[in-house]
């Protein structure tokens, strides 16, 4: 968990470069769950993608011990290969397309864990449920240009702050590109 905290701090401190990298590059897909990995790469920022990809890789070391179908959910029990003492019980609720894991990685770091990817694999999902994608890690997290504000329902100071944040983000991107050459700087 300490490595994830360190990585998240790094992501926060290098956001302009991360924005550039997400808009101009595509990562190489290298896991056994290529459909999910591709979806993660399309939705999340590059550095967050690398953290999530590590969890997808870790999923390969899990084995299903048991599956119980309840009235409105499925409960999966997993163990780590080579370590029968490590067991996780993860619950999938199809009606809301949500996966809950007791390891609490999503609740603490905002990232889906290897156990949730095991459930996605069993359920043959090609996309991560939206309930497991925090807006703050998406490539469109700071893009407020598509939002329409009603001047009657949204107070003026809030509208101004939202517009300022969106414009600042766009200006940061422009400054990043302009700093790459003398002509751009001039």
- The CA distances from residue 29 to 39, 40, 69, 94, 162, in Å, are 11, 10, 33, 28, 35
Cα(130)–Cα(128) distance, rounded to whole angstroms? 6
2 pLDDT band, cuts 50/70/90, is: low
Cα(71)–Cα(74) distance, rounded to whole angstroms? 8
Q: Kindly tell me if the per-residue pLDDT of 89 is higher than 70.
A: yes
Provide the pLDDT for residue 42. Answer: 86
Annotated domain spans of the chain: 2-137, 142-186
Provide the pLDDT for residue 178. Answer: 78
Q: Over the stretch 32-87, which tens digit does the pLDDT of each residue have?
A: 998 999 998 888 888 888 899 999 999 999 999 999 998 999 999 999 888 878 88
Yes or no: say if 138 and 43 are a contact pair by the CB < 8 Å rule.
yes
Provide the pLDDT for residue 142. Answer: 59
Q: Over the stretch 4-32, which tens digit does the pLDDT of each residue have?
A: 677 666 666 666 666 666 666 778 888 99
Backbone angles phi, psi at 15, to 5 degrees: -65, -35
Q: Over the stretch 127-174, which tens digit does the pLDDT of each residue have?
A: 999 888 888 777 776 555 555 555 555 567 767 777 777 677 777 777
């Amino acid at each position: 968990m300490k490595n994830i905290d360190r990585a998240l701090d790094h992501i926060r401190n290098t956001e302009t470069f991360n924005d550039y990298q997400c808009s101009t590059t595509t990562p190489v897909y290298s896991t056994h769950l290529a459909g999910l990995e591709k979806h993660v790469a399309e939705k999340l920022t590059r550095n967050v993608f690398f953290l999530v990809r590590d969890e997808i890789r870790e999923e390969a070391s899990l084995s299903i011990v048991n599956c119980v179908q309840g009235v409105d959910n499925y409960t999966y029990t997993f163990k780590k290969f080579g370590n029968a003492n490590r067991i996780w019980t993860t619950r999938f609720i199809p009606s809301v397309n949500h996966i809950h894991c007791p390891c609490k990685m999503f609740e603490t770091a905002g990232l889906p864990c290897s156990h949730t990817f095991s459930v996605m694999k069993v359920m043959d999902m090609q996309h991560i449920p939206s309930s497991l994608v925090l807006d703050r890690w998406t490539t469109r997290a700071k893009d407020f240009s598509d939002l329409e504000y009603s001047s009657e329902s949204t107070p003026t100071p809030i509208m101004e702050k939202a517009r300022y944040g969106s414009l600042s983000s766009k200006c940061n991107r422009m400054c990043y590109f302009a700093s790459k050459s003398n002509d751009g700087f001039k």
